Chains A and B, each alone.
Chain A
């Protein structure tokens, strides 16, 4: 045979099977496109020039790795579907005298065409859209840099390389499959007498148990970081359970219903239930994949959208004022000690020079430590003390009463030995608290209502998700000294003594001035520490204006990646769904022709199809919703780690994501089911 015949045969048969190949090509081009964009962004000099830009770049880099891995798995999976439908054709070629070597040639050409088209379309699209992506990323970051279009060769090359490898592997697998089967099998590979699906109680029950265990873990893990291993086990259990339940559980349930004669032998149930059983057997894996992809999309979108939308919130909790000077002290300072006020007024002269007006000034000192409560005993520990399991550790914060009054504007009076207590994520009811068996405090006042919370929020809520216990005490300096002495044997660094001076700058557009102030201060800070005579161990100044960029660039980077990955996952969902509909269409075509002959009206058929399609449509979506609901507490804890504690925001963002996704999903389903109806309603050839 002449060698030009292979590319012809390959392209002809791809044209003939365009209903199968066009979606595949579009999906693979889409993946190339997104991969190109990600790798473009990961070394875009514009992005790198931002504050937090290198973090952003590495987020993009990580995203492109995940994408490459996912694309590989996904393209493999869908290509095997293509191959299955093509085997009959290959069997025919083989019987007509084309040897396997020639078939291999055709496959090679086919792969070359697929690779070429995907890279070309994806690359071109990527080049065009990369700038748009960069622009929207910069917008998200709230940067106002302008830019021009350009082609990024390294990104292009790496996209080419990654996808060439993926398609190479796919080709290898196809060749292996073709070489292993004989022609008769090839010819009949679509029509093997399929065994009826059987109930599999063991797998179904295992699936249920896994799901229960995973949900239990999700609800009971207190600290996802400390319990990272369990966290991953929960994720794996959920995935395994989803597959088991979709593949075995669904069939078992259908079988069980079929045993119910009065239910089964009804016009509406009879055909639907029996084909459902087969459908689930064949497509259980596909549906489970869709459910898992949907869950991933939802988790990624809701958490990153929330993080992005909550950035101001996070900044607000982390940085209660626009400019913050924080010091680490070696000794607690008593109320009449003027060292700190002198120091801060010295710093504030700089702001006078810049004509800045400080307002909402805040000045307080505090002690931060971690400890463990048993009964009315609080023992302060080293934070990284390995003998204490992390999830029983609480954060302890102690404030002087004068500073508390000044922050909150309250007029709290406490006698020596008394204290006011405020707790967050833990309950403490005893009337007394003994700390390290050295200090005993009478808890005469309690702060627990939400409206007073914001007074003290300034100080707390920054420490993540661990429970907090806040004490407001008189005689602060001497009490702290006592506590420090009780910690003999361990290093005094276990208690962090901090002092904060913070203020807002008048005027809404003060970001530039604040940055200027910081650069004025920067050289002074170190010398102030060295001149402090050991009173200060560090002194730092921060301005929200500079931190804001940083926060926005990481949070928007994550949002951006999530959106792109969600796009890819949605693409994958579309394709899996499309192929599922196609294969079901072909299978149902002859079946419905028979049913019509034995007296099923077209309405009956349509009704039965709709019932099945709706079930198959809703199952993955509902599963994803359920997974999301159970993952919610865990996700919330993870978001706390990022400093986001706005529960209402998270709930509404999650619900919104679900709603938007459901609409989108319904749209996909409508479009793909058109392919199905198209096939089913075509007259089978006789």
Chain B
């Protein structure tokens, strides 16, 4: 079964005064299978964040359906949505979204505390994760005391600790320097190889080239997709840039 299935999604933002309307998503449909690592790639303003917010149930689509593990998000009642999100999804954001009032450790525990887990359970779950993400030394620090890369790894730990079916990442490398970007991408590949399903939206070719499949989004429409096939990271990078040039120049000729 598909972990995620998106059917003809449409999203129109209307400004408060009712005047202008922005069509952020026109017609989006795709699906993600278990164990896949999918990147949605597009320029700024193409509707990536809108898409992700809808997938997470943080925002309602104007029309269309989102099925998570066969469950229609639109059918879940508002008050159960948060619990559903907590139990099935993990988030990684561009700006980390760590709470500055918590230590790194407490930030990671947050979803588990909300789920009512005891300290012992949380602690034993954190140990292997912290090891793998190399954040053991900074657990007792506060977000403002650690680097961007460390913050993002902590955010990944927070996303993983509930054992979610799907990780949603919105430009996770957007605020990182190139070294921290490489580290984070390596980490994503690693956890994907362990079987974690990941959906990442990004505008960076480098980040997209680490995924197993890339969907290209523009003006709210997914207009192309590329599978990695047997190519390695560099070859896939090349394939993506080639497609991009082809697509843009092709468009230019039209």
Interface residues of A (CB under 8 A from B): 193-196, 261-262, 265-267, 270-271, 274-275, 277-278, 591, 594-604, 686
Indicate if the CB atoms of A600 and B114 lie closer than 8 Å.
Answer: yes
Q: Does B37 contact A (CB under 8 A)?
A: no
Q: How far is the CB of B85 from chain A (nearest CB, A)?
A: 5
Indicate if the CB atoms of A597 and B91 lie closer than 8 Å.
Answer: yes
Interface residues of B (CB under 8 A from A): 49, 56, 58, 78-79, 81-83, 85-87, 91, 93, 97-103, 106, 109-111, 113-116, 118-119, 122, 142, 144, 158, 162
Indicate if the CB atoms of A265 and B118 lie closer than 8 Å.
Answer: yes
Q: Which residue of A lies closest to B106 (CB)?
A: A274
Indicate if the CB atoms of A602 and B118 lie closer than 8 Å.
Answer: no
Q: How far is the CB of A278 from chain B (nearest CB, A)?
A: 5
A-chain residues with CB within 8 Å of residue B109 when the two chains form the complex: 265, 270
A-chain residues with CB within 8 Å of residue B98 when the two chains form the complex: 594
Instruction: State in angstroms the CA–CA spacing of A271 and B99 once bound together.
Output: 10
Q: How far is the CB of A156 from chain B (nearest CB, A)?
A: 45
Partner of A604, one of B93, B114, B119, B144: B114
Q: How far is the CB of A563 from chain B (nearest CB, A)?
A: 42
Q: A597-B56, A602-B79 are in contact. List 10 more A-B contacts (CB 8 A).
A: A193-B144, A266-B113, A267-B113, A267-B114, A274-B102, A274-B106, A598-B91, A599-B83, A599-B115, A601-B82
Indicate if the CB atoms of B101 and A267 lie closer than 8 Å.
Answer: no
Indicate if the CB atoms of A277 and B101 lie closer than 8 Å.
Answer: yes
State the majority secondary structure of interface residues on A.
helix
Partner of A603, one of B79, B101, B142: B79
Q: Which residue of B lies closest to A269 (CB)?
A: B113
Residue in B78, B91, B101, B162 with the greatest tally of chain A CB atoms within 10 Å:
B101
Q: How far is the CB of B30 from chain A (nearest CB, A)?
A: 22
Partner of B144, one of A194, A266, A277: A194
Residue in A262, A266, A599, A601 with the greatest tally of chain B CB atoms within 10 Å:
A599
B-chain residues with CB within 8 Å of residue A602 when the two chains form the complex: 78-79, 82
Give me 12 A-to-B residue pairs in the complex whose CB atoms sit less than 8 angstroms apart, sorted by A's number.
A194-B100, A262-B119, A265-B122, A278-B101, A597-B56, A597-B58, A597-B91, A597-B93, A598-B110, A599-B82, A599-B111, A600-B86
Q: How far is the CB of A294 from chain B (nearest CB, A)?
A: 28
Instruction: State in angstroms the CA–CA spacing of A594 and B162 once bound together.
Output: 16
A-chain residues with CB within 8 Å of residue B144 when the two chains form the complex: 193-195
A-chain residues with CB within 8 Å of residue B162 when the two chains form the complex: 599
* Inter-chain contact total with CB atoms closer than 8 Å: 80
Instruction: State in angstroms the CA–CA spacing of A135 and B78 once bound together.
Output: 58
Residue in B82, B102, B119, B158 with the greatest tally of chain A CB atoms within 10 Å:
B82
B-chain residues with CB within 8 Å of residue A193 when the two chains form the complex: 100, 144
Given A265-B119, A597-B56, A598-B110, A591:B101 Cβ within 8 A: yes
Q: How far is the CB of A683 from chain B (nearest CB, A)?
A: 10
Given A594-B97, A599-B83, A603-B79, A261:B119 Cβ within 8 A: yes
B-chain residues with CB within 8 Å of residue A603 when the two chains form the complex: 79
Q: Which residue of B lies closest to A593 (CB)?
A: B97
Instruction: State in angstroms the CA–CA spacing of A599 and B112 once bound together.
Output: 10
Given A265-B119, A598-B111, A604:B82 Cβ within 8 A: yes
Indicate if the CB atoms of A595 and B101 lie closer than 8 Å.
Answer: no
B-chain residues with CB within 8 Å of residue A597 when the two chains form the complex: 56, 58, 85, 91, 93, 97
Q: How far is the CB of A226 from chain B (nearest CB, A)?
A: 51
A-chain residues with CB within 8 Å of residue B110 when the two chains form the complex: 270-271, 595, 598
Indicate if the CB atoms of A598 and B158 lie closer than 8 Å.
Answer: yes
Instruction: State in angstroms the CA–CA spacing of A274 and B116 once bound together.
Output: 17
Instruction: State in angstroms the CA–CA spacing of A603 and B80 once bound together.
Output: 10
Instruction: State in angstroms the CA–CA spacing of A661 and B115 once bound together.
Output: 41
Q: Which residue of A lies closest to B121 (CB)?
A: A265
For the complex of A and B, 9 pairs with smallest distance between CB atoms:
A599-B86, A193-B144, A601-B82, A265-B119, A594-B97, A270-B113, A274-B101, A261-B119, A278-B101
Indicate if the CB atoms of B49 and A686 lie closer than 8 Å.
Answer: yes
Indicate if the CB atoms of B58 and A598 lie closer than 8 Å.
Answer: no
Partner of A595, one of B49, B83, B99, B115: B99
Instruction: State in angstroms the CA–CA spacing of A266 and B106 once bound together.
Output: 12
Q: Which residue of A lies closest to B143 (CB)?
A: A193
Q: How far is the CB of B198 from chain A (nearest CB, A)?
A: 17
Q: How far is the CB of B79 from chain A (nearest CB, A)?
A: 6
Instruction: State in angstroms the CA–CA spacing of A598 and B122 once bound together.
Output: 16
B-chain residues with CB within 8 Å of residue A601 when the two chains form the complex: 79, 81-83
Instruction: State in angstroms the CA–CA spacing of A193 and B146 once bound together.
Output: 11
Q: Which residue of B lies closest to A275 (CB)?
A: B101
Q: Which residue of B lies closest to A279 (CB)?
A: B101
Q: How far is the CB of B14 from chain A (nearest CB, A)?
A: 14
Instruction: State in angstroms the CA–CA spacing of A195 and B111 once bound together.
Output: 24
Instruction: State in angstroms the CA–CA spacing of A135 and B13 once bound together.
Output: 60
Instruction: State in angstroms the CA–CA spacing of A598 and B111 once bound together.
Output: 6
Q: Which residue of B lies closest to A594 (CB)?
A: B97
Given A262-B119, A591-B101, A597-B56, A196:B82 Cβ within 8 A: no
Indicate if the CB atoms of B82 and A594 lie closer than 8 Å.
Answer: no
Indicate if the CB atoms of B82 and A600 lie closer than 8 Å.
Answer: yes
Partner of B86, one of A278, A594, A598: A598
Instruction: State in angstroms the CA–CA spacing of A594 and B79 once bound together.
Output: 17
Instruction: State in angstroms the CA–CA spacing of A195 and B144 once bound together.
Output: 8
Instruction: State in angstroms the CA–CA spacing of A604 and B111 once bound together.
Output: 12
Indicate if the CB atoms of B118 and A596 lie closer than 8 Å.
Answer: no
Instruction: State in angstroms the CA–CA spacing of A196 and B100 once bound together.
Output: 8
B-chain residues with CB within 8 Å of residue A686 when the two chains form the complex: 49
Indicate if the CB atoms of A599 and B100 lie closer than 8 Å.
Answer: no
Q: How far is the CB of A408 from chain B (nearest CB, A)?
A: 72
A-chain residues with CB within 8 Å of residue B119 when the two chains form the complex: 261-262, 265
Instruction: State in angstroms the CA–CA spacing of A686 and B44 once bound together.
Output: 13
Q: Which residue of A lies closest to B84 (CB)?
A: A599
Instruction: State in angstroms the CA–CA spacing of A591 and B101 once bound together.
Output: 9
Indicate if the CB atoms of B113 and A596 lie closer than 8 Å.
Answer: no
A-chain residues with CB within 8 Å of residue B99 when the two chains form the complex: 274, 591, 594-595
Q: Which residue of B lies closest to A276 (CB)?
A: B101
Instruction: State in angstroms the CA–CA spacing of A601 and B78 once bound together.
Output: 9
A-chain residues with CB within 8 Å of residue B82 when the two chains form the complex: 596, 599-602, 604
Q: Which residue of A lies closest to B91 (CB)?
A: A597
Partner of B114, one of A196, A277, A594, A598: A598
A-chain residues with CB within 8 Å of residue B91 when the two chains form the complex: 597-598
Instruction: State in angstroms the CA–CA spacing of A277 and B122 once bound together.
Output: 23
Q: Which residue of A lies closest to B144 (CB)?
A: A193
Residue in A262, A270, A277, A598 with the greatest tally of chain B CB atoms within 10 Å:
A598
B-chain residues with CB within 8 Å of residue A278 when the two chains form the complex: 101
Q: How far is the CB of B127 from chain A (nearest CB, A)?
A: 16
Q: Which residue of B lies closest to A262 (CB)?
A: B119
Instruction: State in angstroms the CA–CA spacing of A591 and B91 once bound together.
Output: 15
Instruction: State in angstroms the CA–CA spacing of A602 and B93 once bound together.
Output: 21
Q: Which residue of A lies closest to B116 (CB)?
A: A267
Instruction: State in angstroms the CA–CA spacing of A602 and B80 once bound together.
Output: 10
A-chain residues with CB within 8 Å of residue B56 when the two chains form the complex: 597
Instruction: State in angstroms the CA–CA spacing of A649 and B235 once bound together.
Output: 91
A-chain residues with CB within 8 Å of residue B83 when the two chains form the complex: 599, 601
Instruction: State in angstroms the CA–CA spacing of A267 and B113 once bound together.
Output: 6
A-chain residues with CB within 8 Å of residue B97 when the two chains form the complex: 594, 597-598
B-chain residues with CB within 8 Å of residue A604 when the two chains form the complex: 82, 114
A-chain residues with CB within 8 Å of residue B93 when the two chains form the complex: 597
Residue in A267, A277, A278, A601 with the greatest tally of chain B CB atoms within 10 Å:
A601
Indicate if the CB atoms of B102 and A599 lie closer than 8 Å.
Answer: no
Q: How far is the CB of A283 from chain B (nearest CB, A)?
A: 14
Q: How far is the CB of A591 from chain B (nearest CB, A)?
A: 6
Instruction: State in angstroms the CA–CA spacing of A277 and B116 once bound together.
Output: 22
Indicate if the CB atoms of A265 and B101 lie closer than 8 Å.
Answer: no
A-chain residues with CB within 8 Å of residue B101 when the two chains form the complex: 196, 274-275, 277-278, 591
